[in-house]
Amino acid sequence: MRFDFAQPWMLLLLPLALLPLLRRRSDTLVFPFVAWLPPDRVGRLLGVLWRALAVAAMACIVVGLAGPGQSGAQILRSGRGAEVLILMDRSSSMDNVVHLNGLNDGGHFSVKESKNQIVRELLTTFVAKRPHDRFAFMTFSTSAMRVVPFTERGDMVRAGLAATGVGRGLPETRMGSALLAAIGEFEGRPYSGSRVILIVSDGGAQLDEPTRERIRAGLVHEKIALYWVYIRSGPNSPDLTAGTNTVYGSAEEQALHDFFRTLKTPYHLYQTDDSEAMAAAMAEIDRQQNFPLSYHERVPRRDFGAAFHLAALLCCAGLLACRALQLRSWS
């Protein structure tokens, strides 16, 4: 923590606070021989108090105008949770609709919702349920875009999630560059607890060998676990839970899953076919990532100007009280 002034040049006016100490013409006594006057200890005390209050009032006003405060403060916070980076697919395929599970009261299938809308609502609930986590939020299609950097402000992340409902996505899904950008968000940050990249996507990617090596090395170096919420687009989409033995399959989703299984860091696949499966996957992630977490939070600058102005006001009130006592004494 550092004490500083927003307008330090105002401190040049501080010598003006010494003006009440100067003798005034009205302070000159009109009596030719002061030894005849009775001793006035109360008057002397009031005179000293008057000058002290006047000096203090002017000094507090000047210091208050200079904008004293405390900046650069960091508070150590602790709780249970994780550092979670949400990497959300925002390609055009996420705008397609899916059937919600179950029947309504009329015996008909529920209305259709887009995958983006369902994911957005579930992620919003997930963020709201974890107030002690530090979240970051990125979207990707043709390129990765950082929406919200790491923050403990869940409302900022929820606002970023809500913004993904505006417009339509682009046609491409470049998972490799998006993963590298997500890993880069952890670089240079002090390790304070569990770290997770949560990928939410309905597609995969064929990654070249240099990209795979960079992703593998980055996850190990930054100690990041990888969770993939894979949203099947339909019955023709590959079933990644079928247990294929292919090292790198022909389908992009299967190829990406096979690569993730070779990682040296924790990896878990959550394959979902509908909204209920997505909700179950988010609930499982919520149960797993509940470890001790500590981090330093930078707090906004604290302004102490109001306290100095209040002190100046109290000094002025004391001056008025001294003046009232003087008038009462003369009367």
Residue 290 amino acid letter: N
Q: What is the pLDDT of residue 12?
A: 92
- CA–CA gap between residue 246 and residue 233 (Å, rounded): 22
Region 297-323: mean pLDDT is: 86
Q: How does residue 246 score in pLDDT terms, banded at 50, 70 and 90?
A: very low
- Domain ranges within the chain, ordered by starting residue: 2-72+300-330, 78-298
Range in 20-34, 93-107, 170-184 with the lowest mean pLDDT? 93-107
CA-to-CA dists, residue 101 to 96, 114, 235, 275, angstroms: 16, 14, 15, 7
Q: Which one has a higher pLDDT value, 33 or 157?
A: 157
- CA–CA gap between residue 123 and residue 298 (Å, rounded): 26
Question: What is the residue-wise DSSP string for 195-227?
Answer: EEEEEEES------HHHHHHHHHHHHHHT-EEE
- CA–CA gap between residue 329 and residue 286 (Å, rounded): 75
**Numbers of helices and strands, H then E, in the chain:** 8, 13
Q: Which one has a higher pLDDT value, 291 or 58?
A: 58
Structure tokens at 248: 């790198």
Q: What is the pLDDT of residue 59?
A: 93
Containing 184, the helix (H) or strand (E) segment is helix 175-184
Q: Which CATH number fits domain 78-298: 3.90.226.10, 3.40.50.1820, 3.20.20.70, 3.40.50.410?
A: 3.40.50.410
CA-to-CA dists, residue 143 to 44, 91, 107, 119, 203, angstroms: 79, 10, 43, 20, 15
- 129 backbone dihedrals φ, ψ, rounded to 5°: -80, -10
8-state DSSP, 297: E
Is this model's pTM higher than 0.85 or not?
no
**Residue 195: how many other CB atoms lie within 10 Å:** 23
Q: What is the pLDDT of residue 317?
A: 92
Name 248's Cβ contacts closer than 8 Å, sequence gap at least 6. Answer: 206, 255, 258, 259
Alpha-carbon Rg for the chain in angstroms: 34
Name 268's Cβ contacts closer than 8 Å, sequence gap at least 6. Answer: 225, 226, 227, 228
pLDDT digits (tens, 9 = 90+) for 134-163: 888 998 888 888 888 888 788 888 888 888
Q: What is the pLDDT of residue 55?
A: 92
Question: What is the residue-wise DSSP string for 147-174?
Answer: EEEEES-HHHHHHHHHHTTSS--BS---
Longest dimension (CA), the chain: 116
- CA–CA gap between residue 238 and residue 278 (Å, rounded): 17
Helix (H, G, I), strand (E, B) or coil at 69: strand
